[in-house]
C-alpha cells in the first residue's frame, strides 16, 4: 500500500518577494512562484505520484500552488479540501510590515524572537505553538485517517502550518523545528506505515 503524504509550501508570493510579514493576508503567487509550483508538479509527475485527495488553506497562494501541481500531474479535478486550519500563522500587528524595517524599528533580536521562537507570539498574532494547536487537531481528525486508509494525500500550505505538521510527524522539539527553513515549492514526500510512522522521506529539491 502506498500511503504517501506530500507536503509542499506554496511558491513565492508577491509579499515574499516584497519581504513583508504575510500571515493571513492573501497575496497571490509571483511569476517565480507559479514556475516553482509547476516545477513541483513536474517532479511529482516524474515520480509517477498520483493523489486521492488534496488539502490546502483558504489562502490564494496555497490554493494556486495546489491547483498548478494537480494540473501538472494530470489530476486537475481531484477532490481538494480548503480549510482555515492550514492557514499560515497569523502575524498579528506585524502583518504588512517590511521585515528589514521591522528589524530597524524593533531590533534584530526581537524580530528573530517573533519569527522563530516556538511559543512567543508576535503582538496580536499566533506563535508556532498556537498555530500547531489548530493545525494538529485538523491533521489528526481529517488528514491522517485518509493516509492511514492507504490514500495518497497532498497538503499545499505555508511555512509555519507545515512546520507544525513536520514537528509532529518527525517527532521534533520546538527548538528543532524553528531552525528548519522550508523552501517554497519544494515537495517533501513521506511514506508512512499503517500506524502513521515515517518509513522514508524524500525532499524533492532541484
90 labeled part of a ligand binding site: yes
Instruction: Give the dihedral of Cα atoms 166, 44, 12, 70; nearest 10 deg.
Output: -100
* Cβ atoms 75, 41 nearer than 8 A: no
Q: Which stretch binds ligand 2PG (CB under 6 A): 16-24, 30-38, 133-141, 147-155?
A: 16-24
The three cell numbers of residue 165 are 505538521
Q: Which is nearer to ligand 2PG, 91 or 138 (CB)?
A: 91
Q: What cell was used for 102? A: 521591522
User: CA 69, CA 18: separation in Å to the nearest integer?
Assistant: 24
For residue 66, CA distances in Å to 18, 108, 191 come to 22, 34, 20
* DSSP 8-state code for residue 124: T
| 161 labelled ligand-binding | no
Provide the grid cell at 147. 493516509
Q: Which of 64, 88, 126, 158 is catalytic?
A: 88
Residue 88 assigned ligand-binding role: yes
Interacting residue with ligand 2PG among 11, 33, 41, 159 (CB under 6 A) = 159
Whether 10 is catalytic is yes
Selected from 23, 33, 185, 187, the binder of ligand 2PG by CB under 6 A is 23
Q: Which three cell numbers stand for residue 156?
A: 499545499
Closest distance between ligand 2PG and the C-beta of residue 6, in Å?
20
Instruction: Please tell me the distance from the alpha carbon of residue 21 to that of residue 4, in angstroms, as a whole number.
Output: 32
Q: If binding is defined by CB under 6 A, does position 61 make contact with ligand 2PG?
A: no
23 annotated binding-site participant: yes
Q: Is 91 in the site for ligand 2PG (CB under 6 A)?
A: yes
Active site residues per annotation: 10, 88
Residue numbers at the binding site for ligand 2PG (CB under 6 A): 16, 21-23, 88, 91, 115, 159-160
Q: Which residue ranges are tagged as binding site for substrate?
A: 9-16, 22-23, 61, 88-91, 99, 115-116, 159-160
Amino acid at each position: 500500500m502506498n500511503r504517501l503524504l506530500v507536503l509542499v509550501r506554496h511558491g513565492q508570493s508577491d509579499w515574499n518577494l516584497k519581504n513583508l510579514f504575510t500571515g493571513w493576508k492573501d497575496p497571490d503567487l509571483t511569476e517565480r512562484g507559479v514556475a516553482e509550483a509547476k516545477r513541483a508538479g513536474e517532479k511529482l509527475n516524474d515520480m509517477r505520484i498520483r493523489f486521492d485527495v488534496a488539502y490546502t488553506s483558504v489562502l490564494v497562494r496555497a490554493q494556486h500552488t495546489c491547483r498548478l501541481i494537480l494540473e501538472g500531474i494530470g489530476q486537475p479535478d481531484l477532490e481538494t479540501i480548503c480549510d482555515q486550519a492550514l492557514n499560515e500563522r497569523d502575524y498579528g500587528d506585524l502583518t504588512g510590515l517590511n521585515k528589514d524595517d521591522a528589524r530597524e524599528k524593533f531590533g534584530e533580536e526581537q524580530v528573530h524572537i517573533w519569527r522563530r521562537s516556538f511559543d512567543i507570539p508576535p503582538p496580536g498574532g499566533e506563535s508556532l505553538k498556537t498555530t500547531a494547536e489548530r493545525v494538529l487537531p485538523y491533521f489528526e481528525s481529517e488528514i491522517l485517517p485518509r493516509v492511514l486508509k492507504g490514500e495518497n494525500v497532498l497538503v499545499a500550505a505555508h511555512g509555519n502550518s507545515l512546520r507544525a505538521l513536520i514537528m509532529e510527524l518527525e517527532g521534533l522539539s520546538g527548538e528543532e523545528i524553528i531552525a528548519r527553513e522550508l523552501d517554497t515549492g519544494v515537495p517533501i514526500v513521506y511514506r508512512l506505515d499503517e500506524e502513521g510512522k515515517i518509513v522514508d522521506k524524500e525532499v524533492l529539491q532541484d
